[in-house]
Structure 1
């Protein structure tokens, strides 16, 4: 089967290898947000499609039987576009979206729907650790009275967009102990996180619980209609069941 895998997550990487092992012809697509992505074990294209029409043109020139969207749960534009185009051209489409996180005993989480709401929750003068990526930094402009630290994988190519902030470079995974030490040494008052889910990146939340650090959790938007699975195993089971019947 010819499969286009929209990648960029650890689940996508694991799924790519599993699909190739099962004999599928896989093309993985990365937007290029990380400069040195890990090998996916299949044909890989890096860079966007050039918008919706570019995506349509690529599909017309590279016929596939199935599109699997295993992008980040907050890659909303890509996910919505993919669902819309696949429905329009009647192309089979599966979403792999890992389960969101939920609070446990000892967690101090506040939920918001948009980064702009952070200023109504976080106190003036707070030191804030933004574990949200650089793409949405501008949406935290309202935290002008706070000190902001944004962690990203690659060294920044441009300065921090606000005078009250700085970048911290680090490549995951991070242990709970590492995160506890980091937050303690930096004297962080608030941790801001997108509810991306997943095991590998949960250590910062476990560390926050351990030291009593409040967390501002940004909710996901609702996914498009269509089949959704929450794990690599479930994606493989769906594929087997769907194409055996």
Structure 2
């Protein structure tokens, strides 16, 4: 019997999960993408799945209004399974989802990409959060700051360092200070691309979150290759629930 599933997305894993579910054709799927990005986001997503039957997919854009709004949505749409496939650092969304699912007494699971692990002999400084990461940066470092523009504020106090803030979304470095410069770009497609950037900008330290994404690891590998300091921000503690670390296991579970 098919289920009515709501997927909280925004990651490549969420997109792959949607495709896997639609290919099976057993469930009605709603994909929620946070942020009011408009119809262009829907068109882009549908274009990536153009060989998939999308008749049982609904895409919604924007937030729900906290756990209360999400609970109301789950009840109104008769959702019986909520899947959290958001970014590992989207802690508030995950907390809201867990709370709403419990209120509505429906299933709640998380699809979570595995975290990166440190390599023996490589400089890997683990920081418990953004504020801790700011204190871990060596004095006078030139830093590639790959934490997203909304997470850059704690580093403003380190006026002894220069920061190259790389972000997919635009940012105004004037808001951060004269020791910040900005690069609006996706992570490099190859390790060689990342090495070139690190060398051109004379970077001595990389600060990043442990997202676990394959493409994002290129910058870690590049920093290791050049012998740079890597400050890795630990993942936040998320609500206790059943976790799947790859697509096949969650699809097999849904078939059961």
> Matches of 1:90 and 1:109 in 2, distance apart?
41
Change in CA separation of 1:34 and 1:175 when aligned onto 2, cut-off 3 Å: farther
Does residue 219 (structure 1) correspond to residue 234 (structure 2)? The answer is yes
Partner of 1:200, secondary structure, is: coil
* TM-score, normalising length: structure 2: 0.87
Aligned equivalent of 2:45: 39
1:229 to 244, 249, 256: 244
Residues 132-179 of structure 1 show CA distances to partners (whole Å, capped at 9, x for unaligned) of: 1112112223323211111111333x4453112122111245210000
Contact 2:13/2:85 (CA < 8 Å) preserved in 1?
yes
Change in CA separation of 1:50 and 1:120 when aligned onto 2, cut-off 3 Å: same
Question: In the TM superposition, what is the alpha-carbon distance from 1:127 to its structure 2 partner?
Answer: 1.1
Number of matched pairs: 240
Change in CA separation of 1:34 and 1:233 when aligned onto 2, cut-off 3 Å: farther
Aligned equivalent of 1:149: 164
Does residue 162 (structure 1) correspond to residue 176 (structure 2)? The answer is yes
Question: In the TM superposition, what is the alpha-carbon distance from 1:85 to its structure 2 partner?
Answer: 1.4
Contact 1:116/1:142 (CA < 8 Å) preserved in 2?
no
* Mapping for residues 38-117 of structure 1, pairs under 5 Å: 38-39=44-45, 41=49, 42-117=57-132
Residues 152-210 of structure 1 show CA distances to partners (whole Å, capped at 9, x for unaligned) of: 11333x44531121221112452100000001100011101111112121111111111
RMSD after superposition: 1.9
> Matches of 2:249 and 2:211 in 1, distance apart?
18
Question: In the TM superposition, what is the alpha-carbon distance from 1:52 to its structure 2 partner?
Answer: 2.0
**Larger deviation, residues 53-62 vs 76-85:** 53-62
After the TM superposition, which parts of structure 1 deviate over 3 Å for at least 4 consecutive aligned residues?
33-38
